[in-house]
Amino acid sequence: MPGWPAHWAGDVLLADGGTAHVRPIAPQDDRLLAAFHARLSPESIYLRFFSPHPRLSVGEIEHFTHVDHDARVALVVLLGDELIGVGRYDRLVRSDTAEVAFVVGDAQQGRGIATLLLERLAAVARERGLHRFSADVLPHNRAMLRVFHDAGFEVTSRFEDGVVRLSFPIDRTPEASAVAYEREWVAQARSIERLLAPHGIGVIAEGAAAELVADVLLRQLAVGGFAGPVRRLSAHAPAGAGAGLDLIFVAVPPELLGAQIERCAGWGVYAAVLLASGGPGDEAASARGDRALVVHARGAGLRLLGPASLGLARLLEGNRLEAVAVPVQMRAGGLALFTESPRRGRDVLAAVASRGLGISTFFSAGRKADVSASDALQFWEGDLATRVIGLSLRSLGNPRRSAAIARRVSRSKPVLVWLTDLPAPPPEELVLALDAHTGMIRCSSLDDLLDVAEALLAPVEAKPRDGVAARITAWERWRRSVPGRIERPEGVDRFEARRRIDELLAESPEGTVLETEDIAALLRCYGVRTAEPATTKGSPPRLRVVQDPAWGSLVAFDARPGESVARLLPLTDRDVRALAARGPRALHAERVHIIHRIATLAADVPELASLALALPARVGERPALLPGSARVAPWTLGLAL
């Protein structure tokens, strides 16, 4: 097991929509680091080291690659097997401040890598109990000065000894959060925009069934009038065959997918759509195989749609891309659609065509190994051609990220969701909390989704049927409501909580039920002190944390048996008050205090898989731990793309 938490590593999107991989540096990176430094221009070296420094010494390489992942942290950005950027911090002695520095390869500058590393290092430093960064920058290094000043932190600077000395707190301010959101939104939107606007398309098919799929796809491209070059390629096409193409459709047996992705990466294409359905019959085996494909693709800067995709479409006046392996007539319009299951994708396309509905965009994600509904939502948020969004989903993927994005997009456009073909039904309280949190309009069937979409796209004077009208009215009311604020309570020791969780998972990597003293120590980090359960008649009010890896994480307040209210994480001040309102008025302030702190703990520590507390029933009581009331388990979605 590495000496750093798993969520420090992951795939990332760069400012131009390309992909890369970020992780902590390791001693085995010595050759990668030396080669990276050797590729830097003399100017880049001078801006980083303040002097000519053409080669790193053996001692310097050892120092830079051997860090303790605490007082000294370094993150590297990789594109395939090539190191393209490094960011690091070194904690100052007996201080809560660390000095931070970056260097990005000349060919990769301008892609937002330094900004991304600053965000990641600040998040790591906060986990390690640091509160400030400092940096020395040469006055003419305007690009790096702009990175620091544009990051949303409150930067102070002074000129001293020929350098600009910067200092700033790294707390997650609203400004820093807004900058991080803007960077992610722009990167995601550009990534999907590039996927939907290829200059040239290639189609690779292997086998009789795959050839039929390719035939349908090529006919649809011709009918749609795609203006760029389209080539049918062999699965064994030579190196130059993909020249001028940036989107490749692949229909081959599952065991050949890896080789085709490698071929696409070698051609320098931007994305591949994996049309081959199937793969290992067992769903878990498919997931493992899909993950290996994505790791390979993202490492090479390649995005994937699928496996088991039907394709994609973008219908704009004068710019039509009908790249779907389904014979169907398409009209341009304001409805954007995202489906997973190929069967549901065919149903959706047929139903839309039969109703004469016009679409702006269509994605068939299949097993959504890479491109997900969250990616599409972030593109549609700013897409002028899209007025209504429809999703057919089996799961939320990364539920925290998906719910946060859906909540934001629903403020500007209606998002309709049809949960279908579910492996297992989600808990009803979680689905209700998801509705309240995101503002999405839940639909019971494909016909129901299209009924609501038609009503939203219809002229204002048209009157939808009652069941549809009620949901549209509820969404309008939700959209106009004042969004709450996410506030952090004072007196929280996130660093100590993080340390305790890391120790517990180091001892029990698969997760464990916590002892009473461990739970009490964790709660004290968030200013919640517990007592022994009091002997009372009936069931005391309970506060629960439930972290569901498929559907999301919630905080629920059970005022009494059968009377419960739940909200999805992270809780806003309005959410906290909504939960606290379900109990005796005399204890309202106490409930607000406890719920706010427990919700902050659950948001900060996703490894807290479950928690249950008995809340005070009388003035002066403390919350009490219930038997078997807490469990921790690994959480690996923190830095997912």
Residue with the larger pLDDT of the pair 315 and 560? 315
- Model confidence at 640: pLDDT above 80: no
pLDDT tens-digit map of 357-371: 999 999 999 989 899
Residue 163: per-residue pLDDT:
94
- Work out the percent of the chain whose per-residue pLDDT is above 90: 62
pLDDT digits (tens, 9 = 90+) for 382-392: 999 999 999 99
Q: Is the pLDDT of residue 168 over 70?
A: yes
**Fold category of 192-480 in CATH:** Rossmann fold (3.40.50)
Q: Give tens-digit pLDDT for 59-94.
A: 999 999 999 999 999 999 999 889 999 999 999 998
Beta 156-160 vs 163-169: how paired, if at all?
Answer: antiparallel
The sign of the torsion formed by the CA atoms of 141, 142, 143, 148 equals positive
For 250, list phi and psi in degrees, rounded to 5: -125, 120
For residue 637, what pLDDT is reported?
A: 43
Per-residue pLDDT of 516-550, as tens digits, reads 999 999 999 999 988 876 655 667 889 999 887 77
Higher pLDDT, 431 or 88: 88
Which two structure tokens, joined as six digits, stand for 393?
């989903």
Q: Tens digit of pLDDT for each residue in 12-57?
A: 889 888 889 999 999 999 999 999 999 999 999 999 999 999 999 9
As a whole number of angstroms, the distance between CA 256 and CA 206 comes to 9
pLDDT value for 572: 92
Q: In CATH, what number does 494-632 get? A: 3.30.470.20
Instruction: Count Cβ atoms below 10 Å from residue 487 Cβ, excluding itself.
Output: 12
Would you state the pLDDT for residue 400?
81
For residue 575, pLDDT beyond 90? yes
User: Per the omega criterion (within 30 degrees of 0), is the bond before 426 cis?
Assistant: no
Please state, as a whole number, how many other Cβ atoms lie within 10 Å of the Cβ of residue 585.
Answer: 7
Q: Assess whether pLDDT exceeds 70 at residue 148.
A: yes
Q: What is the pLDDT of residues 270-295, one digit of tens each?
A: 999 999 554 444 344 566 678 888 88
Per the document, the length of the chain is 641
Residue 409 has pLDDT above 70, yes or no: yes
Q: What is the pLDDT of residue 2?
A: 61
Cis peptide before 2 (omega within 30 of 0): no
Q: Please give the CATH architecture assigned to the domain spanning 6-172.
A: 3-Layer(aba) Sandwich (3.40)
Order of all β-strands in the sheet with 563-568: 512-513, 624-632, 608-614, 542-548, 552-560, 563-568
Determine what percent of the chain is predicted with pLDDT higher than 70: 95
Residue 639 has pLDDT above 60, yes or no: no
Q: 460: number of CA atoms within 13 Å, CB side?
A: 0
Q: Give residue limits of the domains in the chain.
A: 6-172, 192-480, 494-632
The answer to whether 92 touches 86, Cβ cutoff 8 Å, is no
Q: Strand pairing partners for 24? A: 75
pLDDT at 461: 67
Is the pLDDT reported for residue 97 higher than 90?
A: yes
Q: What does the pLDDT look like over 442-464, one tens digit per residue?
A: 999 999 999 999 999 998 767 77
Per the prediction, the chain carries an average pLDDT of: 89
User: What is the C-alpha to C-alpha distance for residues 34 and 57, in angstroms, rounded to an integer?
Assistant: 9
User: Among 324, 424, 305, 314, which residue's Cα sits nearest to residue 366?
Assistant: 305
Entry pTM? 0.85
Q: Where are the alpha helices (DSSP H) in 356-507?
A: 373-381, 399-410, 428-438, 446-457, 466-480, 494-507
What pLDDT shows up at residue 537? 63
Helix axes 257-267, 283-299, angle to 10 degrees: 20
- Band (pLDDT 50/70/90 cuts) for residue 1 is very low
Closest alpha carbon to 118 in 155, 165, 92: 155
